[in-house]
Amino acid sequence: MLNVNIPEKLLDEKYIKLIIKAINDSRGQLHEHLLNRGFKTNNGRYQDRWNYLFDDVEQNFKNTGFKCYIVNRGPLWSFVALFDINSKTVYIIFRKSTFLNINKNKELNHYARMFNSINLRNIYPKEPIAVQGSFLEKNITLSSLYSYINKQLDDMIGEIQRDANLCVNVLFEENNNRLTSISGNIASYNLEIKKSCNWNEFIAPTIEEIIDTEGIIENNEDKLPPIDLKIRKRKSKDEKKDGIVDEKGKNNKKGKN
């Protein structure tokens, strides 16, 4: 087991915001793309969305301390893996529901497991892994499984798979065309989440939410009870003079008595 230094939030704030920007921008780009095509059907738009998202990630992380690796998983799917050169951490992006379903459906050959085997090697070496009924053969040995995983990683990310100390899964959720949650997660080969960092604080509110908030503030202001300000009335010059005369008159009467 290596002495892996795990950052508190798993990624610096400025880079979290770059990923969030890619997610949000890709949504708008896909919408514009569909409008321009003018099709009455939207077949294949799921893949189109990820093409925009991965392209935006690659553009956003240019001239940073990250390398972007284009990973091909057959003719129908490719994705971008981010590698932080300084911390030697690999970042892969999923919808949260997809990540959970990979484990639920026992997709043992999925690249998510291959990438998270980096954590198995460096952080959780004693973590038991599913071998029986695996994608290779029954009663496969652990050494054979490790050899298979290493070959898969070599094919996907080359030499960095040996340099990588950590794999972080970036999981996000959307609802009503907006990003609702995002987090960084360290998982085992079995995709059991061991450490999770909530990044929701870095999601900027939408224009609609800002407008709604302003409406709430205005409504609350309307409900506030009126403030009764007791304003002291200033006396005019004539009233002041009359007061002085009256005071003098009182003093004179007291003197006579």
Is there a contact between 119 and 149 (Cβ–Cβ < 8 Å)?
no
**Whether pLDDT at 239 is above 90:** no
Q: Kindly list the strands in the beta sheet with 166-174, ordered across the sheet, starting from the edge strand earlier in the chain.
A: 66-72, 78-84, 89-95, 166-174, 179-187, 193-198
Helix (H) or strand (E) holding 16: helix 13-37
Between 99 and 8, whose confidence is greater? 99
Angle at 93 between CA 44 and CA 156, to 5 degrees: 90
pLDDT for residue 103: 83
* pLDDT digit string, tens, across residues 195-234: 999 999 999 886 655 665 455 555 555 555 655 555 555 5
pLDDT for residue 143: 75
Residues 6+ apart with CB under 8 A from 67: 82, 83, 85, 160
Q: How far apart are CA 79 and CA 68, in angstroms?
A: 10
Share of residues in the chain with pLDDT > 90 (%): 44
Residue 83: beta bridge partners? 67, 90
Between 42 and 214, whose confidence is greater? 42
* pLDDT digit string, tens, across residues 175-191: 978 999 999 999 998 89
Whose tokens are 């972007």? That residue is 68
> For the chain, what is the radius of gyration of the CA atoms?
33
**Whether pLDDT at 250 is above 70:** no
- Per-residue three-class SS string for 42-91: CCCHHHHHHHHHHHHHHHHCCCCCEEEEEEECCCCCEEEEEEECCCCEEE
